[in-house]
Chain A
């Protein structure tokens, strides 16, 4: 069942919805869920490769927002970025915990069984998909690979270095330079602004 919406909330900004949440407005949380739950679930599932655990992560992220909305600072970026950052952090924590070792092994087995894993595949919005595809394809392969392994598979840069048989310094440098290069290209194409907000 999808959450019940209030028509006056559908036009509210994310920041105003968070303020409404601070007044215990459940409908505001429902509207944020409608806007962002799909992306949050998609990221958690992609990192964890387990839909059931990904659901638990989504639940936790929304309950965190409900209980502590003041942690979101609109001056530091979009709500979507805030929620996805929290989601990624939580998913990676789960992957790295001892109790999740089996989860990781299962996930890696399924990764191996799945052909053609492609970072381009699940890009969310067709309006920015083309720019992202261009930006990704223009990255040196070493940068792209390091970012994929770190972000989508939840590895530390040290683990990535071991997997790629590269020095750790090289890998952390590639991650940083790759992200900078992508940001510069996305600013140039108008997808994000200089301060990092989505346009």
Chain B
């Protein structure tokens, strides 16, 4: 379609009355045409007024929604051994890894994690609120720009390889969390992304939210060599407090 043909369809588009192929073409045009975006917004504002039917939502519907937004904590049994074991494997925590001796290992590891927490630096504790102000289209455009050029990507995986997430790296030090199949968390929890610097220094790269299905950006520094994800209280922590559920070497 040329521009005139697209403009003629803006009314029908605003009412969801175009075919899927036409919708795709129009939406591609809207990305670059503020005038047409404004026209669609005006059409939709009119439709909104027509749509305000004044109905009463059915009894009990809110309860269904409320129960959906607070699902049980996912069972992470069998996930990656975790940050404690990871630090242990690097020689930071010394001990045997047999299950019979797990308790003292964990005790030692816990002490080390305290040290790690104390030394953790919050580089960029990005909150979900910050992400709120980030234009979603802009984020997608940034991701698409990286994808359109030669780039590096890594797959963070769980130990069982049934949960993973993809991160891509731009040439300017920016990296992007692109997608994952992580389970949605309850509202009191968030996924948090970390980088390991050296053997025991852990830095936060940002809070990913309870359901990180969409792109978000973070900065990578040269000394970072491993990415990890943990589950933390909503709002995030200055250092990891639970075991690692996803990880990858950079």
Contact = CB atoms under 8 A, between A and B. Distances in A.
Do the two chains belong together in a single complex?
A: yes
B48 A157 contact: no
Nearest to B19: A156
Contact of A19 (B17, B44, B69, B129): B129
A124 B45 CA distance: 14
Contact of A38 (B45, B55, B129): B55
A71 B211 contact: no
Contacts of A166: none
A39 B54 contact: yes
A124 B12 contact: no
B11 A158 contact: no
Contacts of B42: 179-180, 183, 192, 195-196
A42 B45 contact: no
B214 interface: yes
Contacts of A173: 8
27 contacts: A24-B210, A33-B57, A38-B56, A42-B52, A58-B65, A59-B65, A63-B68, A67-B184, A67-B211, A71-B136, A78-B45, A85-B47, A123-B49, A124-B49, A147-B50, A157-B12, A158-B19, A175-B12, A178-B11, A179-B11, A179-B14, A179-B15, A179-B43, A179-B46, A182-B46, A191-B49, A196-B41
Interface centre among B18, B65, B132 (most CB of A within 10 A): B65
B63 interface: yes
Interface of B: 8-12, 14-19, 37-38, 41-66, 68-70, 128-129, 131-132, 134-136, 184, 187-188, 190, 210-211, 213-214, 234-235
Contacts of A156: 12, 17-19
Interface stretch (A6-14, A43-51, A98-106, A109-117): A43-51
